Amino acid sequence: MRYLPLSDADRAAMLDVIGVSSVDALFADVPEAARLSGPVEGLPLHASELAVERQLAALARRNLSAADAPFFLGAGAYRHHVPASVDHLIQRGEFLTSYTPYQPEIAQGTLQVLFEFQTQVARLLGCDVANASMYDGSTACWEAIVMARRITRRGKAILSGGLHPHYVSTARTMAKFTGDVLETSVPRLDGTAEGEMARLIAAIDDETSCVVVQNPGILGRIADLSELAEACHAKGALLVAVVTEVVSLGAIKSPGEMGADIVVGEGQGLGVGLQFGGPHVGLFATRDKYVRQMPGRLCGQTTDAEGKRGFVLTLSTREQHIRREKATSNICTNSGLCALAFSIHMTLLGEAGLTRLAALNHANAVAAAERLAKVAGVELMTDTFFNEFTLRLNRPSRPIVRTLAENGVLAGVSLGRLYPGEAALENGLLVCVTETTTTDDVEALATALEEVLA
């Protein structure tokens, strides 16, 4: 067993020191009826490195990876080019195999990265302060709703129809058990961002803890959140803004700048990769005055006994290991390695690179939208967008997406899959275009749609 260093002679010598006759004897406290006498039945025995690699590589080949097809999927997970040095650096053993930095004197590498990450995220989201990351965007969104309840002492959250339906489901699941009331709706294919803002403003009342709005919305529409923020504050509610495509912040005014009180996001687009949905990295930022209500880990600056600058995890008095049942959330970890990947990618880009990357995404998307709108049976439904827009096809999009995948084109995400049972949305197709999309890819999609919709 290549991962186990003890030899039989070692084991015998150690058992001698302990004073028992066998390893099995160390399990004497396990009720005899529940003790297994040999390997669990129904599972294979150990295998060589070569054999395992072969078996998993065979399974990997059964998947159509994004690089092997014209690829247009977004809806909460985005494909961007990750510079080679990002993965190289996160695989350094000192980052990859280090522990949560509870012993700061020998974890300054991780801690300084988290401090830099917090600064980058706060600036990107337009807020005063960010935490050291969450599981993902959807769980960060739920935690923001809980935090708004703690701050306002109100229990009704209004969720925009533009919020990712899986984020809505996650919040709905949790609310069933915490007693929060959630007002939800579905997006309108022929609606506008302005119409949705007006609807949300009209819905705010004295019981509202927060309004949760995604920008760009699930259909790609971009909204000015300023009036909504004012309306929230006038009624004593908070504005929670969600960003699922973090690269958009290189082009669009941040939610913080538009008045949002809590901004959460999915940071997967920078450094992390698609990963079939996980691990991803949740971003969480807010105003200075709410810092002590913010969930998750925080890294803070301090000095050591010699007066040198150093970093520590801080404000842990909010956390489960100290406050137990009074903790502000049950989160016990962050997405440390993904935060590192995000931060390295962000550092490589810098403001100049991020702005350029965002411009490239937007220009490619606009060009693609114009091309696809010319296909007979296709209508572009999104007026303003960043790199993702909605098409209305002349028939339900879900089977179309399946058919195109069989022909090697990953066409986008059908609204039929995201909103099963919503007849008004079933012809909708979300198409995402990034810097990885070529004009040949767009042409392949256009041609495939022409054939299948004719």
CB contact at 8 A, 114 and 106: no
Q: Which residues pair with 390 in a beta bridge?
A: 430
Q: Interface residues for other proteins in 259-278 (CB under 8 A)?
A: 266, 273-278
Stated length of the chain: 454
* Least distance between other proteins and beta carbon 211 (Å): 18
Three-class secondary structure assignment of 350-386 = HHHHHHHHHHHHHHHHHHHHHHHHCCCCEEECCCCCC
Q: Which residues pair with 413 in a beta bridge?
A: 430
> Per CB under 8 A, which region of 151-159, 181-189, 228-236, 355-363 contacts other proteins?
355-363
424 is a contact residue toward other proteins (CB under 8 A):
no
**Other CB atoms within 10 Å distance of the CB of residue 318:** 18
* Least distance between other proteins and beta carbon 267 (Å): 12
Structure tokens at 151: 């701050």
450 is a contact residue toward other proteins (CB under 8 A):
no
Exposure of 20 in the CB half-sphere (CA atoms within 13 A) = 9
Q: Interface residues for other proteins in 194-213 (CB under 8 A)?
A: none
Cα-Cα-Cα-Cα torsion 323, 324, 329, 331, nearest 10 degrees, comes to: 110
Q: Tell which one of 150, 332, 374, 451 touches other proteins (CB under 8 A).
A: 332
Q: Tell which one of 149, 154, 156, 362 touches other proteins (CB under 8 A).
A: 362
Exposure of 443 in the CB half-sphere (CA atoms within 13 A) = 3
Q: Interface residues for other proteins in 368-407 (CB under 8 A)?
A: 369-370, 383-386, 401-402, 405-406
Q: Interface residues for other proteins in 81-140 (CB under 8 A)?
A: 83, 85, 87-101, 103-110, 112-116, 118-120, 122-124, 128-130, 132-133, 135-139
If the CB atoms of residues 51 and 234 are measured against other proteins, the closer one turns out to be 51
* Least distance between other proteins and beta carbon 227 (Å): 13
* Least distance between other proteins and beta carbon 263 (Å): 14
Q: How far apart are CA 50 and CA 204, in angstroms?
A: 60
153 is a contact residue toward other proteins (CB under 8 A):
no
321 is a contact residue toward other proteins (CB under 8 A):
yes
Angle among Cα 117, 120, 125 to the nearest 5 degrees reads 120
If the CB atoms of residues 236 and 274 are measured against other proteins, the closer one turns out to be 274
CB contact at 8 A, 139 and 170: yes
Q: Interface residues for other proteins in 14-73 (CB under 8 A)?
A: 14-15, 17-20, 23-31, 33-36, 38-47, 49, 51-53, 55-68, 71, 73
Count of residues touching other proteins (by CB under 8 A): 215
